[in-house]
């Protein structure tokens, strides 16, 4: 159990914990709409994916290619192949999560299918209030500053493999997908204000105190040993 718990929080973790506490403060003390907060969390999923593609690109600039495992065999492939695979695979997760939430959000203009999702993703300010837009900017800045310090400046992009980086967001995204979908049911029945507290607590505990990076590294090593 200790192996999967973080021994210390990174600069990025601290920034994002602060960013996740803001919505709870806003909903309970400032009268923010819980639906708007969940819309921001849906977009956060996309932010994580876009930043991960950027990180994979930086790794590709250094390594050019990396080992790709498939069906018990492995071969060296371009980093751009990893990026394309991630874009398609992760994009599927984003599509499922966003589709479910938008159809439960109670926002009529966002309950019409794939075209509505594209509209929401490409024109978020059309559906977000002023405070929700600022919260989205806060998340973008927090992720960006964290990656700059913990990934770029310290040279982590020179050491991590493309395999490890590609799977980095999935631990968070699976938890977030589950919690956002569960939260959608609460919102449908008017319990968004209460659930936002549960959501933020679970999100912080799971995302920032469980060492997903260590779990991914161990999984990659075990897979390599079996081959």
For 54, other C-beta atoms within 10 Å of its C-beta total: 15
CA angle (218, 224, 225) in 5-degree steps = 90
List residues bridging with 75 in a β-sheet.
68
CA atoms within 13 A on the CB side of 210: 16
Tens of pLDDT along the chain (227 residues)? Answer: 444 555 567 777 777 788 888 888 998 888 888 888 888 888 888 899 999 999 999 999 998 888 887 766 778 899 999 999 999 999 888 887 777 777 766 666 665 566 677 778 888 888 889 999 999 998 899 889 889 888 899 888 898 889 889 988 887 777 766 776 676 677 667 677 777 887 788 777 776 666 555 555 555 555 554 55
In angstroms, rounded to a whole number, what is the distance separating the alpha carbons of residues 127 and 108? 11
Strand ranges in 79-172 using DSSP code E only, listed in sequence order: none
Which residues, including other chains, have CB under 8 Å from residue 43's CB and lie 6 or more apart?
Answer: 121, 124, 136, 139
pLDDT of residue 35: 81
């Amino acid at each position: 159990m200790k192996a999967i718990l973080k021994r210390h929080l990174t600069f990025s973790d601290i920034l994002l914990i602060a960013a996740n506490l803001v919505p709870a403060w806003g909903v309970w003390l400032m009268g923010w709409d819980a639906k708007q907060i969940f819309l921001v969390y849906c977009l956060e999923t996309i932010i994580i994916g876009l930043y991960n593609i950027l990180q994979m690109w930086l790794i590709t600039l250094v390594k050019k290619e990396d080992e790709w495992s498939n069906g018990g065999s492995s071969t060296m492939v371009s980093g751009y192949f990893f990026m394309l695979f991630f874009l398609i695979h992760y994009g599927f997760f984003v599509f499922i999560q966003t589709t479910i939430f938008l159809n439960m959000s109670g926002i009529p203009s966002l309950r019409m299918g794939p075209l509505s999702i594209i509209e929401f993703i490409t024109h978020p300010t059309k559906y977000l209030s002023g405070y929700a837009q600022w919260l989205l900017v806060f998340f973008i800045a927090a992720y960006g500053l964290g990656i700059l310090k913990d990934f770029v400046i310290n040279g982590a992009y020179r050491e991590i493999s493309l395999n490890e980086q590609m799977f980095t967001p999935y631990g968070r995204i699976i938890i977030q997908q589950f919690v956002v979908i569960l939260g959608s049911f609460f919102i449908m029945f008017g319990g968004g204000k209460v659930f936002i507290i549960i959501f933020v607590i679970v999100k912080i505990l799971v995302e920032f105190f469980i060492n997903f990076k260590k779990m991914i590294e161990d999984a990659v090593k075990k897979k390599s040993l079996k081959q």
